[in-house]
Amino acid sequence: MAQLLVVEDQPALRQTMTIALSRAGHAVEGVGSGEEALARTQETLYDLVITDLRLGEVDGLEVLKGVKARDADTEVVVATAYGSIDSAVEAIRAGAFDYVTKPFTPDQLLHVVDRALERRRLKTEVRYLNRRLEDPNDPPELVGESERFQRVLGIVREWASSDSTILVTGETGTGKDLVARMIQRLSPRADEVFVVVNCATIPSALFESELFGHMKGAFSGATRNRKGLAQEADGGTLFLDEVGELPMAVQPQLLRFLETGEIRPIGQNRSVTVDTRVIAATNRDLRAMISEGTFREDLYYRLNVLPLDLPPLRQRVEDIVPLATRFLTRFARRLGRQAESFSQEAQEVLTAYGWPGNVRELENVVERAVMLARGAVIHPEHLFMPDAERPDLGQGGGEGGVGDLISLAELERRQILAILKRVSGNQKKAASVLDISKSTLWRKLKEYGIDAASFAK
Ligand SMILES: Nc1ncnc2c1ncn2[C@@H]1O[C@H](COP(=O)(O)OP(=O)(O)O)[C@@H](O)[C@H]1O
Ligand SMILES: [Mg+2]
């Protein structure tokens, strides 16, 4: 018999829920506030907590977090008011199994409860395996069918076998990290370590000691010897992520290491030679930084031995649907959802968007869609792209002129057209998405000579 806790501040609804769940054979307790819920969960280990999101002082999200902090295996289902999808998504991100939208029928409640309990059972069963293997059915893989991406793959395979330094460039989310890891996995060093140095997050003052290590007593706070990351990577690969963020002050230290392959821990008077393959990545334009005087030219040449530029997603549109499909399968399995495919319209929406955040943004949009979709097919209404349909203004394409830029009015016109297309000409919906009044929309339609009716399906 599963132990359930119902958290609902409306007494009548709470009672209905408790009765329905008890009849289904569960041991159910009900409480009317978040405070009580948290107190109970300190005393009893529940299999499942069903909580309303909107409660008094302590809300459902806090109940969720409290429950998960106490025992991550307790499943949580949240009940949300109609229309508050955002809070449901937030709850799922914070670890809720699923949500039910109010008002719900007893059957809907029982259904989600069954699935949550099944999930809990499976989780306990497979924990042992999961701990050992990350996701054996789905090792990371580079997906992409476009010619441009196939060319990247060819280069990755070819360069993996060499020991030369590679500089991976590309906008954020284009897959620089993943590519660096693939290179390592295809290289003769595949079984050796892959050490990541995020140059954006190491404070300048600590860089030398982090990278090259220090001896006990070398400076105040150095209470014992510490191996640097460059030495940890000996025999393997050192990944210098966000290398464009490296402060000028420490660039010479990195340069020296790249030139000599030697490191000297702070406080040690002898250098050590290490054998590491270096891969660096950045989304910055290092050449521009050189002219600005914020990146050393000699360091650039040391890093840029083999340059690998990853194209933004909008320049390889054919990759969007295959990537989205891969993410769909992965998230459906991970989240225990039944989503299997995208509708034709959903594929069109995905393909039409400019993806300023590239593959990472696509991954997030698909994750959210998988959370929200109820059936096997994902439809456009499950796809939330905050700036969807914004016309691509050609940023990042390297063009220096302004010839391809458009006026604010043109931008507005295109935005209105795009939204109308999405909502099939429904002016009320369009006005609400654009966050303007219906009369303002009407005026703008006239101004731009747009016929909303022509978008009706
Ligand atoms: N070609 C690809 N195939 C599959 N997944 C990809 C691909 N490119 C990027 N990703 C995924 O997209 C996300 C962002 O990629 P990442 O390598 O972190 O980008 P970057 O380092 O360029 O910002 C990661 O989850 C990564 O696994
Ligand atoms: Mg990255």
pLDDT digits over 278-287, tens only? Answer: 999 999 999 9
Tell me if 398 is assigned to some domain: no
- Provide the 10 A C-beta neighbour count for residue 394: 16
Q: Are 449 and 434 in contact (CB under 8 A)?
A: no
Ligand nearest to the CA of 363: 1
In ligand 1, the atom with minimum distance to the C-alpha of 359 is 12
Do residues 59 and 152 share a domain?
no
pLDDT at 70: 84
Tell me if 397 is assigned to some domain: no
Q: Are 6 and 104 in contact (CB under 8 A)?
A: no
- Say how far apart CA 365 and CA 359 lie, in whole Å: 10
Ligand nearest to the CA of 175: 1
Angle at 368 between CA 366 and CA 371, to 5 degrees: 110
The 3-state DSSP class for residue 115 equals: helix
Do residues 62 and 178 share a domain?
no
Which neighbouring-strand residues pair with 262? Answer: 273
CA of 447 to the centre of ligand 1 (A): 43
Do residues 330 and 282 share a domain?
no
Tell me if 138 is assigned to some domain: no
In ligand 1, the atom with minimum distance to the C-alpha of 363 is 12
Do residues 210 and 244 share a domain?
yes
Domain boundary residue, one of 132, 158, 190: 132
Tell me if 107 is assigned to some domain: yes
The domain total for the chain is 3
Tell me if 337 is assigned to some domain: yes
Question: What are phi and psi for residue 432, nearest 5 degrees?
Answer: -70, -40
Domain boundary residue, one of 77, 106, 132: 132
Of the candidates 69, 145, 141, which has an alpha carbon nearest to the alpha carbon of residue 317?
Answer: 145
Do residues 25 and 127 share a domain?
yes
In ligand 1, the atom with minimum distance to the C-alpha of 281 is 21
Half-sphere exposure at residue 37, Cβ-oriented, CA atoms within 13 angstroms: 33
Cα 102 to Cα 13, 33, 51, 99, 304, distances in angstroms: 11, 18, 12, 10, 57
In ligand 1, the atom with minimum distance to the C-alpha of 172 is 23
Mutate to test the pocket of ligand 1, among 143, 168, 178 (most ligand atoms within 8 A of CB): 178
What's 339's domain CATH number?
A: 1.10.8.60
Do residues 172 and 297 share a domain?
yes
CA of 169 to the centre of ligand 2 (A): 10
The residue whose C-alpha atom lies closest to atom 13 belonging to ligand 1 is: 360
What is the C-alpha radius of gyration for the chain, rounded to an integer number of angstroms? 27
The residue whose C-alpha atom lies closest to atom 27 belonging to ligand 1 is: 178
The residue whose C-alpha atom lies closest to atom 5 belonging to ligand 1 is: 142
Do residues 299 and 337 share a domain?
no
The residue whose C-alpha atom lies closest to atom 17 belonging to ligand 1 is: 175
Tell me if 314 is assigned to some domain: no
What's 291's domain CATH number?
A: 3.40.50.300
pLDDT at 260: 94
Domain boundary residue, one of 309, 344, 379: 309
- Residues 6+ away with beta carbon under 8 Å from 30: 5, 6, 7, 8, 14, 15, 17, 18
Residue 272 belongs to what H/E stretch? strand 272-273
Query: Consecutive sets of 10 residues in the chain, 457 residues long: mean pLDDT of each?
Result: 92 94 92 95 88 92 92 90 82 90 92 88 55 52 94 94 96 96 92 90 85 86 84 93 93 95 89 94 96 96 96 96 95 86 95 93 92 89 67 38 58 82 87 85 84 80
Residue type, 67: V
CA of 241 to the centre of ligand 2 (A): 7
Q: Which residue has the tokens 């929309």?
A: 441
Greatest extent of the chain over all pairs of C-alpha atoms, in Å? 79
The residue whose C-alpha atom lies closest to atom 24 belonging to ligand 1 is: 360
CA of 88 to the centre of ligand 1 (A): 26
The residue whose C-alpha atom lies closest to atom 16 belonging to ligand 1 is: 175
Tell me if 400 is assigned to some domain: no
Alpha helices per DSSP H over 241-395: 251-260, 286-292, 297-303, 320-335, 344-352, 358-372
Do residues 188 and 125 share a domain?
no
Tell me if 368 is assigned to some domain: yes
Do residues 177 and 294 share a domain?
yes
pLDDT at 230: 92
Do residues 287 and 162 share a domain?
yes
> What's the whole-model pTM score?
0.62
Six-digit token string for 45: 């280990």
Do residues 151 and 180 share a domain?
yes
In ligand 1, the atom with minimum distance to the C-alpha of 168 is 22
Total residues belonging to the chain: 457
pLDDT at 233: 92
Do residues 25 and 78 share a domain?
yes
What domain range is 413 assigned to? 320-390+405-455
Which residues, judged by CB distance below 6 Å to any ligand atom, belong to the binding site of ligand 1?
142-144, 170, 172-178, 323, 359-360, 363
